[in-house]
Chain A
Amino acid sequence: MKTLLASIVPFALAAMIGATPALAAEEAAGGTPHYPIHHPKEVEWSFAGPFGTFEKAQLQRGLKVYSEVCAACHSMHLVPFRTLSALGYSEDQVKSFAATHETEDGPNVDGEMFTRASVPSDYFPSPFPNVEAAAAANNGAAPPDFSLLAKARYVERGFPQFIFDMFTTYQEAGPNYIYSLLTGYEEAPAGVVVPEGAHYNPYFIAGPALAMAQPISDGQVTYDDGAPETLDQYAKDVAAFMMWAAEPHLEARKHLGFKVMIFLLIFSALLYLTKKAIYSRMDH
């Protein structure tokens, strides 16, 4: 097996490295432009790596940014209020936070739908009744739902980076993309035609410009924990919050993973010693 692997790798590397420069050159020479124009910036996230955990204060700030800014257009319909206790809120805090929202319920005894204050078992209400309404109100482009967005965006990292990613357990492409997009708005360079109603952003994954204008800027949301009220901080906080919304059991997964890894390492070591003892009886 050792020789098997040792022989595969150099062949594969040689084959790929040999081919890559030629291809890159051709891409640069023209043809279809590739988006995003810039690769996402890389942020140091508290939840990255095998021992990563969410920073509760950051998630609370992210929730604040979402509620005060993003929620005006973006739904988050898979996330129930009850799960907010994971952000460090007490049961009462979750209840009173939910109560600041309205949920449609019914039908009542008269057969009519009605709205009532939300309770923890309700899900975040959506700002628009349906996708069509969302698109109509936003220049034809419906704002994507936030529930899974942090896992639904990935910018190709290419060879050989994706090999290294297996060892560094890189799973933060989504939050990096969101952070980069929020902080990436700029004036369109000369020669780039930005369609009417679109906004230039070299980090946007599907073109040079997107329908969303820069949604947030310095000082727009008041933090009560002393964190800087800057675009940079807002973007980080809301991206971290979105990662939590998309992967609420991330911490439990990594905690359990550590135990499983320790178990398997010890188990493998014991099996190895047993194997050695058994095979010492003979030549093989």
Chain B
Amino acid sequence: MSGDHSTYNPTTGFGKWMDSRLPLMRLTHDSFVSYPVPRNLNYAYTFGAILSMMLVVQLLTGIVLAMHYAASTGIAFNSVEHIMRDVNFGWLLRYMHANGASFFFVAVYLHIARGMYYGSYKAPREVLWILGVVILLLMMATAFMGYVLPWGQMSFWGATVITGFFTAFPGIGETIQQFLLGGFAVDNATLNRFYSLHYLLPFMIAGVVVLHVWALHVTGQTNPTGIEIKSKTDTVQFTPYATIKDGLATSVFLLVFCWFVFYMPNFLGHADNYIQANSLKTPAHIVPEWYFLPFYAILRAITFSIGPIDSKLGGVLAMFGSIAVLFLLPWLDTSKVRSAVYRPWYKLFFWLFVANAIFLGWLGAKPAEGTYTTLAQISTLFYFAFFLVILPVLGLIETPRRLPNSITEAVLAKRSGSGGSKPAAAAASPETRG
């Protein structure tokens, strides 16, 4: 991670001694202080910091919750209530953890949307993007298994439905399902292994996050213009410029998060999960958490068979495919221009994609019948068409707007356009001031 921007200069005797043995402080300094970032990063680029914070919040609250939780079908539900009622600030830990999962996904979806809007996945950042999709997958697995732990009705039936997907695969399906469940139905073995994995996966996420940040620091960050850094005037130091912006965005994000934690902690959950799991009583509607709803809608949209693939397998393949296609995104987008700012048609289709994803989420919460199914099929079609047709074709036929020659030029053009009054020389070289 350390490169030619290293300005670390140990001043104390211990600092010098340590630096020649294990340059940990140099690594930290070079990564988070002197690291050069584009000078034009906007608030859409703060979700990396927000996500790091959310991961830490989830880890810390989760570790303390685990001290009080008991993973056994007989007492799991009551042990969560014990946390809520008897553990000091247990209600806070539990509400932070449950809502923290939701806000983790809020941040990650905005982070992904930013990456798509500004074309962050394009060469040379393919590996960075793929690592991000791996983190998303790990997050989904972690969130799903975490939701099973309180052992409420939706925990139990959600686990039953989701693990049931695997039976769709011909031949090996049932074996996979039994392997996941540790038996023939969701039961104590399932709860125990989910608990074990729910504790393990976050640390795997942390590991992949390190790789993600490493890859980021190798290629450098993109920026709203999508133009690579060309000279020193294009960049500013990570600290204080990016640090303070990340800090402000994180604080505002926490405000919204805390609004939910303290004033409406059950808004994002399901009332049914306050009823203990009962294998003999199926809830009227089995609905996943909101962050899975778009994928759930895609799953249920496939109501028809295609050749040897029946509707169940088709749905499962479509659902997994909707994530798998993200891995291919760097190669599906044929445009040489990164940022949607300079791609008028891509910009339009990007926002349609966002609206479509939200619409799919809404459909996922509705019963799979009548008009809803038809709408879900249209939406699913658009979801895949966006990646498999629109992106490849658009890159070939779209005429992008003229790109500025450099980040600095773009910034100064914007400034003079909006009536800035700073002398260009001073503005062009922020490093010489301050």
Contacts and interface: CB of A to CB of B under 8 A. Distances in A.
Contacts of B369: 31-32
Contacts of B275: 144, 148, 152
Given A8-B358, A15-B359, A1 B262 contact: no
A166 B260 CA distance: 8
B191 to A, nearest CB: 19
A4 B241 CA distance: 22
A1 B271 contact: no
Contact of B420 (A144, A279, A283): A283
Contacts of B39: 282-284
Given A206-B284, A254-B262, A4 B117 contact: yes
Interface in B37-88: 39-44, 78, 81, 84-85
Contacts of A152: 271-272, 274-275
Given A152-B275, A248-B85, 10 more contacts: A8-B358, A11-B352, A11-B354, A50-B263, A144-B275, A171-B264, A257-B262, A274-B244, A275-B247, A278-B434
Contacts of A148: 81, 274-275
B376 to A, nearest CB: 11
A170 B265 CA distance: 10
Contacts of B359: 12, 15-16, 19
B274 A246 contact: yes
B415 interface: yes
A282 B244 contact: no
A171 B81 CA distance: 19
B258 A261 contact: yes
A149 to B, nearest CB: 8
Given A1-B44, A281-B434, A12 B244 contact: no
A169 B240 contact: no
Interface residues of A, number: 60
A142 B41 CA distance: 60
B263 A281 contact: no
Interface string A262-284: 00110110011011001101111
B263 A284 contact: no
A233 B420 CA distance: 65
A171 B255 contact: no
B271 A174 contact: yes
B40 A284 contact: yes
Interface of A: 1, 4, 7-8, 11-12, 14-16, 19, 22-23, 26, 31-32, 49-50, 78, 83, 144, 147-148, 151-154, 159, 165-166, 169-171, 173-174, 206, 246, 248-249, 252-254, 256-258, 260-261, 264-265, 267-268, 271-272, 274-275, 278-279, 281-284
A26 B359 CA distance: 19
B248 A165 contact: no
A12 B294 CA distance: 14
Interface in B76-131: 78, 81, 84-85, 91-92, 95, 110, 113-114, 117
A147 B434 CA distance: 60
Given A151-B271, A171-B264, A254-B262, A15 B412 contact: no
A33 to B, nearest CB: 12
B362 A159 contact: yes
B245 interface: yes
Contacts of B95: 253
A265 B248 CA distance: 11
B165 interface: no
B354 A8 contact: yes
Nearest to B252: A268
A31 to B, nearest CB: 7
Contact of B351 (A7, A253, A260, A283): A7
A253 B92 contact: yes
15 contacts: A4-B110, A4-B114, A8-B358, A11-B358, A15-B355, A22-B371, A31-B370, A151-B266, A169-B263, A171-B263, A254-B263, A256-B262, A257-B261, A260-B262, A267-B251
Given A147-B81, A256-B92, A264 B433 contact: no
A4 B44 contact: yes
A224 to B, nearest CB: 29
B136 interface: no
A147 B43 CA distance: 44
B358 A15 contact: yes
A257 B258 contact: yes
Contact of B355 (A11, A166, A173, A271): A11
